[in-house]
Amino acid sequence: MQIKVTVVPVGPLQMNSIILSAEGPDGPEAILIDPGSEPERLLQLIEESGCRLTALLATHGHFDHVEGAAEIQKVHNLPLRCHVADQPIIEIMQQAQNSYGLPVTEFPEFKTDLVDGGSISFAGMEISVTHVPGHSPGQLMFRIPDYAIVGDCLFAGSIGRTDLPGGDFATLEKSIREQIYVLDDDTIVVSGHGPDTTVGRERSSNPFVRD
């Protein structure tokens, strides 16, 4: 079954919100990963797709990845699902927005039920969940055929920051080498900011973590 991957850069930090859509046994479904800024735009795209939104997921808890969740929840009664290790980061979302001089948004309802090795049911298939800490303690990777959605773990030609609370370079490097670089070379890497890349390209040329 084909999953459509729509990447939508939003907000001043151009964070990539990601809409997965597919035809399921009960009709067209969608999942929204990292509901950041511009929730009205994201809601419109989901409505235009004709899909029923079945889940809100967070690759990690930094404010730019979760700040639109509360507005999405006013239309779709879904908790923001994340890893428990990032609960403290989500809880200080509004303070973080203040520190960057950005508008403070409403606090979302969230559920810390995503675990390493788990899965998320979607359109009659399963999305795999892998814990890839280092940028944040609860950073997750979501895997679907041909794609790895990695949040701020790995970028095209770069890696996630490790100078934020809970970040650690050695942990991030381990996550990249042991969880991402073991995937097929042609796996498309969808990052939290910037363009897509591939596992093979980053393994051979990423200046921060490469063979």
- As a whole number, the mean pLDDT across the chain is 97
For residue 24, the model assigns a pLDDT of 95
- Structural domains in the chain, sorted by start: 4-205 (3.60.15.10)
**Interval 35-83: pLDDT, tens:** 999 999 999 999 999 999 999 999 999 999 999 999 999 999 999 999 9
Q: Let me know: does 50 contact 43? Beta carbons within 8 Å.
A: no
Q: Let me know: does 162 contact 203? Beta carbons within 8 Å.
A: no
**Interval 142-191: pLDDT, tens:** 999 999 999 999 999 999 999 999 999 999 999 999 999 999 999 999 99
Q: Which residue has the tokens 């996630």?
A: 160
CA distances from 27 to 22, 38, 54, 127 (A): 9, 26, 11, 18
With 90 as the cut, is the pLDDT of residue 25 above it? yes
Query: Does this model's pTM top 0.95?
Result: yes
With 90 as the cut, is the pLDDT of residue 211 above it? no
Q: Let me know: does 19 contact 46? Beta carbons within 8 Å.
A: yes
Q: Let me know: does 175 contact 133? Beta carbons within 8 Å.
A: yes
Q: Which residue has the tokens 């960057």?
A: 100
